Amino acid sequence: MLLLASIVGLFVLPSPWNVLGVVVAAFVEVGELWLWMRFLRRYRVHGGAEGMIGERAEVLERCDPRGRVRLRGEIWHAISADGEPLEPGERVYVRAVEGLAVRVGRDR
């Protein structure tokens, strides 16, 4: 809106003021863009493979090194990240997503 008003002011205001108005509006727009980018950087991605990293899962089948886990109500193939066996009922964290399997490990 401010950019639109500055473009209109470019043609309506007298000579030195019209350029100054456009420059000020451009700085305000760049500042607003910077603030929005800084604000939105605080929020995690909630969907897709990137959003699953760090989520908690429950081991359903022993992972030695492969098994199954329940993650967000879905059953996933799992690979033990550390190579150590994970027993059914354990709470683990997703460390990576590799295709249709998740690499999980205990919280350290």
Whether residue 58 is found in the same domain as residue 33 = no
Mean pLDDT by 10 residues, the chain (108 residues): 69 77 84 92 78 92 94 94 91 94 88
Burial class (CB in 10 A: 0-12, 13-18, 19+), 77: middle
Whether residue 101 is found in the same domain as residue 63 = yes
Number of domains in the chain: 2
Instruction: Tell me whether the omega of the peptide bond preceding residue 65 falls within 30 degrees of 0, making it cis.
Output: yes
Q: What is the pTM of this model?
A: 0.58
Question: Could you tell me the end-to-end alpha-carbon distance of the chain, in angstroms, rounded to an integer?
Answer: 50
- Looking at residue 34, the DSSP 8-state letter turns out to be H
Whether residue 32 is found in the same domain as residue 54 = no
Burial class (CB in 10 A: 0-12, 13-18, 19+), 63: buried
What's the pLDDT score for residue 108? 63
- For residue 90, the SS3 value is coil
Whether residue 35 is found in the same domain as residue 59 = no
Whether residue 35 is found in the same domain as residue 55 = no
Q: What is the CATH number of the domain that holds 101?
A: 2.40.50.140
Whether residue 60 is found in the same domain as residue 100 = yes
**Residue 8 belongs to domain spanning:** 2-40
